[in-house]
Amino acid sequence: MYLKLAWRNIWRNKRRTLITVSSVMFAVVFALFLESLERGAHNVMIDNMTQFHTGYIQVQDYRFEDEPSLDNAFYYDDELSDQVIGLESVEYTIPRIETFMLAAGAEATRGAFVMGVEVDREDRLNNLKERLTEGRFFEPNDGTAVVTEGLANRLNLAVGDSLVLLGQGRFGMTASGLYEISGLLRHPTREMNNQLVYLSLPDAQWLLSADDHITALLVTPNRVRDTESIARQLRSELENEELAVFTWRELIPELVEALEFDQAQSRLMMGILYVVIGFGIFGTILTMTLERMREFGILLSVGMQRIKLALVVFIETFFITIMGVLAGFVLGIIPILYFYFNPIELGGEMEEVVAEFGVEPIMPTAIAPDIFLWQGLMVFILTTIICLYPTIKILTLKILEASKT
């Protein structure tokens, strides 16, 4: 009956209740969209970085972090691979050898980032094969290379042309090779699209005089949330191997800081938004409380305990906010779904800024239950704080004075 009382009370002034519910609803839609868009943009950044650069976990020679040189590549064989794969929650590993070299065509020379990879394994992490726009991927030791479109344009090269790679191999060995371009690939980030050359792992190892050596072993967890625990296990497993283990957060702390700063900004904005919502709800509750002081006095006179009366008012506030929140969820999911499947494509200056970070210039929304849960929790906390006013009013109410109002 308390629920019935609370429910009917909120409809005593339908227009006021509907206005309050609507204000909560629109605020929730706005907050959800904002949070979802921010999360989506962050996910793009993290995905770009983990899929094309660092992986979720990376095993390196322990000297590589301070001196990222081929001299600090490490020995990689099936035994090491099996040792890592054998850990619980590890899905697969990806060996890579990476270095900077000069790339030259018939007419031009440019700096290039050369990456020796096993295509099938890379593809599991970043769908590399789907990014191929022309030609085909190489087979191991077939002497061909895949070049990113931007670099190919700069060198004025196409599929079937020859590419010269020139640089330094392991321990100062001269590294030079001539490769036929078997395919062109469009890398999602502009920076990498302008400088990347893919070779098969054995080809790259031979070119760089680094037989059986790699510069990084990427470890992919079954679930992203297990990243930290797998890294801990790997550290203890490989502690005698002169190998170091890093998570993506440790490898790109500047990105983590940028994301945290961005998050702090949106939290601040969200805080301001909730203060605005809070005042809206408070206005309604204040009016509802003050215009019912006499009724409260009567209910206390006839024997209703103050705490029960406060509970009824709390339920009323909760009903109003929960209706707003649920309506907000229903309405909010529409733009979130739309922009999830049709991400906003950044242009102009924003595209430049994002490209500088090496990130795809798109902003999709993210669909994550915790975004909704957090909004619900925030509004519940807000409601509880707002309810302090009628609760205090009821607990300190003088029955006779209230009955005379």
* Cβ within 8 Å of residue 86, ≥6 positions away: none
Longest distance between any two alpha carbons in the chain, whole Å: 99
Comparison of 22 and 403: residue with beta carbon closer to another protein: 403
Using CB under 8 A as the binding criterion, the count of chain residues that bind another protein stands at: 22
Token representation of residue 393: 């009013």
If the CB atoms of residues 12 and 232 are measured against another protein, the closer one turns out to be 12
Least separation, in Å, of the C-beta of 297 and another protein? 9
Distance between CA atoms of residues 284 and 45, nearest Å: 42
Cβ proximity to another protein: between 178 and 392 the closer is: 392
Place of tokens 């509907």: 18
Q: Which x/- pattern over 307-326 shows residues binding another protein (rule: CB under 8 A)?
A: -x------------------
- Least distance from another protein to the Cβ atom of residue 279, Å: 26
Stretch of 2-10, 76-84, 281-289, 334-342 contacting another protein, by CB under 8 A: 2-10
Phi, psi for residue 117 in degrees, rounded to 5: -135, 160
**301, 330, 345, 377: which one binds another protein (CB under 8 A):** 301
Q: Is 369 in the site for another protein (CB under 8 A)?
A: no
Return d(Cα 109, Cα 165) in angstroms, integer.
10
Q: Are 189 and 358 in contact (CB under 8 A)?
A: yes
Residue with Cβ nearer another protein (5 or 178): 5
Residues between 6 and 45 that touch another protein (CB under 8 A):
8-9, 11-12
Residue from 133, 141, 287, 305 touching another protein (CB under 8 A): that is 305
Residue 90: strand pairing partners: 221
C-alpha to C-alpha distance for 266 and 317, rounded to whole angstroms: 27
User: What ranges in 148-242 are assigned the alpha helix state H?
Assistant: 149-155, 190-193, 201-207, 227-237
Q: Does 363 sit near another protein (CB under 8 A)?
A: no
Helices assigned H by DSSP within 292-387: 293-301, 306-341, 348-356, 369-386
Question: Nearer Cβ to another protein, position 285 or 382?
Answer: 285
Among 1-9, 21-29, 73-81, 140-148, the segment contacting another protein (CB under 8 A): 1-9
CB nearer to another protein: pick between 255 and 402: 402
Q: If you search the block for the tokens 């990498």, which residue do you land on?
A: 192
What's the closest the beta carbon of residue 1 comes to another protein, in angstroms? 5
Among 191, 226, 241, 295, binds another protein (CB under 8 A): 295
Q: How far is the CB of 90 from another protein (least distance, A)?
A: 59
Distances (CA, A) of 305 to 125, 314, 385, 402: 62, 14, 21, 15
399 binds another protein (CB under 8 A): yes
Start-to-end CA span in the chain (Å): 26
Q: Using DSSP bridges, classify how beta strands 174-185 and 144-148 pair: parallel, antiparallel or unpaired.
A: parallel
Does 391 sit near another protein (CB under 8 A)? no
Q: Which residues contact 296 (CB under 8 A, 6 or more apart)?
A: 309, 394, 397, 402
Q: Does 306 bind another protein (CB under 8 A)?
A: yes
Instruction: Give the footprint of another protein on this chain (CB under 8 A).
Output: 1, 4-5, 8-9, 11-12, 294-295, 298-306, 308, 399-400, 403
